[in-house]
Amino acid sequence: MASMFGVTDSNGRTVLSADLTVGILVLPLIIINAQEAIKAVPDSLRQAAYGVGATRWQTIWHHILPNALPGILTGSILAISRALGETAPLIVVGASTFISIDPDGPFSKFTALPIQIYQWTTRAQSEFHAIAASAIIMLLVLLLTLNASAIMLRNRYQRKY
């Protein structure tokens, strides 16, 4: 497929293949979280909507989904947090161990930040160790921020029944 777009040297190891791999990896998490959030909506809310004459789709769109949305968003944010730290599946689809240029499109070569951090720590120069420490701190801050935002989102929009 990449050869259709003029890219022949990537051997299938592209940003697009990494995106699809990580997407498939987190999809079950998002689906299960969405199912659990929808199941958590009380049945009495559904029955009340049906009792006043709402159709099934009206009940879903106006009562079930708005009440399940905080749980769905929280699960999605946590799945994204997990995807940020995943390295093993990206190694399988061909993440480069070291690249010196930024990816400029979906068919560019890529690497994952944990792989890049490992490469920087194995180098002898102390500058690479400082860069690796900075990358570790940034990855940690990003993960903590995503997890904290998921918790705040859940607490802010969660309704008690």
For residue 98, give every residue at least 6 positions away whose Cβ sits within 8 Å of its Cβ, in sequence order, or none.
111, 116, 119
Per CATH, the architecture of 13-96+109-157 is what?
Orthogonal Bundle (1.10)
* Residue 139 pLDDT: 87
Amino acid in the structure at residue 66: P
* Residue 4 pLDDT: 52
Crossing angle (nearest 10°) for helices 15-39 and 65-85: 140
pLDDT above 90 as % of the chain: 29
* Residue 12 pLDDT: 59
Residue 6's pLDDT band, with cuts at 50, 70 and 90, is: very low
Question: Above 70 in pLDDT, residue 160?
Answer: no
Q: Per residue in 128-157, pLDDT tens?
A: 889 999 999 998 898 899 888 888 887 887
* Residue 97 pLDDT: 63
DSSP state of 2: G
Confidence (pTM)? 0.67
Q: Where are the domains of the chain?
A: 13-96+109-157
For residues 28 and 75, is the Cβ–Cβ distance under 8 A? no
Higher per-residue confidence, 42 vs 8 = 42
Amino acid in the structure at residue 18: A
